[in-house]
Structure 1
Amino acid sequence: MTIQGIIKKAVKRLELEGKLLTPDFYTEAFCKESAKAGMNVEDCSHVEKFKVTLNKEFQKELTQYRIKTMSELARFLISKLNRTNSSHCSSLLESQTIFTKRVLQVVEVLHNKEASELAKKSIDLLNNEASAAQVDQFRQLWVNFITTYDDTFLEKLKSLGHVDITDLKKSIESLKISSSDNLVAPMELSSIASLLVSSLVPSIASSVNEKIADISQKIKKNPSLLESVSVEAEIKSAISLRIALDKQSVKDMIKSLDGVLDKLSLRLIDMIERSDNSTVEIQKIKVELEAYNEDPITNFKIAHKKLFTIAVALEENTQALSKDLKNHNGEVKALSKKIEILEEELKKTREESKEDFLTKLYNRRALDELITIQESEFERYNHNFSIVMFDLDYFKAVNDNYGHDAGDAILSAFAKILKAEARNVDIIGRFGGEEFMALLEETNVEGGVIFAEKVRAKVQKARFMYKGERIEVTVSCGVSERSKHPSIDTLLKAADENLYKAKKDGRNRVEH
């Protein structure tokens, strides 16, 4: 192709892209057309020619920012120049300002011989118009000094009278402190700190409060904090909190047995003593009950097991216990009420789980969370997906004719078919009752229909057996695609409506 042909194609490209015929736009279009035609034009390689003359760091940035034209290269270099430091003088002035601030901060809080000497040397440095590097070096010396300076020894001076403030540390080291001054040696502080932290370790209550953990860590790292008045309040608070946690734990442990165990012990002992037919086994039970009175705070599981054994033994060996239980029907009802409450809590726990206990697929709660995640990926990355709703046909008749055990067996078998046909990236779950859902990632409605048809055909051909009898099972399916709907709610509604249409039009079919 000739240059004239490339020029015509470049002008045509600008017209198609709706761009004005400016030098920059024309150059860009001309270079694209020449590259497309396989023609190497020198005017289109200026950027690469200048790029190789720059250092590797600039070359990397040019590649990162995808600099293609001379105009973009010029703007990039201008931006770099604008970010360059103005002059050595301004840099030095900034270093001196920061340095002076650090000196003022140190002088304001310290009374130390080393600090005074370092301050004099720093003043001499400023008077001699030092370089920026020298100033920065001294600034770092001040930063190191104030960071590592330890003035906890000042606490020891409060009750010892006048000292030389020009060198406080030397003054403290030269003092003769008798044993009556009650100053604790570092080694003793470490031992005390270790004992204190051990006392805060969980005893009865197994949990560790954040506040207790923080104060324990601080004391471990710096035992001298035990001399600080401010830390004293924190330690007292931590000890009180530790005691409160233990008390609450004990209260929780004996709550379910409190009162009930004592009443049961007294009643059973009384029955045993009044019984004319007491056996050796019943006498052993009496000894166990007396032991409970001596140690009421026992392991819950052990206590529960022993109490159950006691109840079974008494039921087998005395008619008096059976009569007593009948006379106290109200207490039995109360226990039944507690069992109902526990069953409700177990049901709630199962509902909060993400796995359906029967089919081992995702449950409704998990499906709602995973659909939300899939919707976020669609909104951010435009990752399309499809939803397939499944509903086993005439499932109520299966439960009515064969029983719920047969219905559960069919639900489990259908779940296995779904797992077998699904890909690793697909999400399969039980939506509720005999209704299931498949969330197919990166799949349009046609792919969803193919998947649904495979499942439908396999269910129709499958031999669902229960107690030697075959049960005929079919499934209806509704499919919808995310990209064809304005929101996730309309997507779910469309899949449900398609499922309803499949049921209405004869069942054992796929609608989309």
Structure 2
Amino acid sequence: MENIKEITKNTLSELKNQDLETTPENYFIEFKKQADILDIKLDEFKLFDKIKNSLTTDEKSQLKVDSFNKLSSILTKRTTAEELKALIEVFNDILTPSINFDYIENIEDFICEIMKNPKKLTNKNTIFKLKEFASQRIDADRKVLKDKTNDIVKLTSLMSRYFDKTLNDSDSSTDEIVKIKDDLINLNISNSSHRELRVVQKKLIDTIYKIENSIKENNKILSNNIEKFKFLNRQIEELQKELILVKEEQQFDFLTSLLNRRAYQEEVKKVEKQFNIFGSDFAIVFIDIDHFKNINDVYGHACGDAILKNFATILKDLTRKEDIISRYGGEEFVALVNYQSETEIQRYIKRVKTALQNHVFIYKTQQLQIEFSAGVAFRNKYHSFAEAEASADKLLYKAKNKGRNKVIFDDEIEL
């Protein structure tokens, strides 16, 4: 039961994070993903996989089968009543609520009705009813989850107030403890959490009875140690601040404030996951400042650092927040740019080139004009990210060898 609650909570949270509507189909797909993440094997998903695996090669090739909606669109093309009955039995298992059982009788009546005439499964009214039941299940599960969350908040808030007062007020009286005990006894727990939280509530009440009998001794101990607690708390806060700074140092390049190579590799995993699950297209763009070694040799490394920092700022300003820009090493940078059309990547490159053409890099009394070379690979043209990344890197060096100040795409377009 707890696993189901966690999956339900994670499902609703993930749909919200992805800005997806909580439709029955989206809910089912995400619910199955969350179950797979937690390695929880639910009977309904076993049934789903079993039916999916029973599809013919031709049926599997029709569309990506990741929900019962798509599965049903294939199965309903079959004409035998026996196959439709098998599907109806699966719907019975799938629609059965996992947390809230208020609608189970209505669902069973509905399943019995269409079992009498399996062909009704394909008509619009039946499909609408299936969606309605699925929607009711989502709403009911969400309500139970909300009720349980609110109950836990009530319980923890009450106990938090008690412990705060006990730690900060050495003069807590027995009457105050009795009041907390009475508050716990009268705490309004919803029906959704009654069975689980009543047990916790009783244990807390029993604990407070014991605390009530030893409150004076506890207050004396707390009074003697309260300064130590405060000191330790301050140390913890300082350590937390230091940890945040260390984490930032691990993620960002000190000179350019862009993601460093380690953080870039972590972002690659996220972008690649989006590509594999949702087909989100992106391009890999390797960018290298032309003749950078000459800048260091002629004007010094301090000038080179200033150029890198300024160049990185321009790249960051021209790259959308949802895209990734990182310092790959030395004067080399890499961007992961999402797109709907490949021409968007061309426009992105042109914006960078135009910005650099119109920008004069100033170091002390020196005014420098900077150019760059780049290689661009579109991820969807390769079997793996590593293959696409290697292609972009090769295209970069091809641009260097062809005279620099060039951008070469993997479709042979040059800018």
TM (norm. structure 2) is: 0.46
Q: Which has the higher relative contact order, 1 or 2, with Cα contacts under 8 A spaced 6 or more apart?
A: 2
TM (norm. structure 1) is: 0.38
Give 1 or 2 for the bigger CA radius of gyration.
1
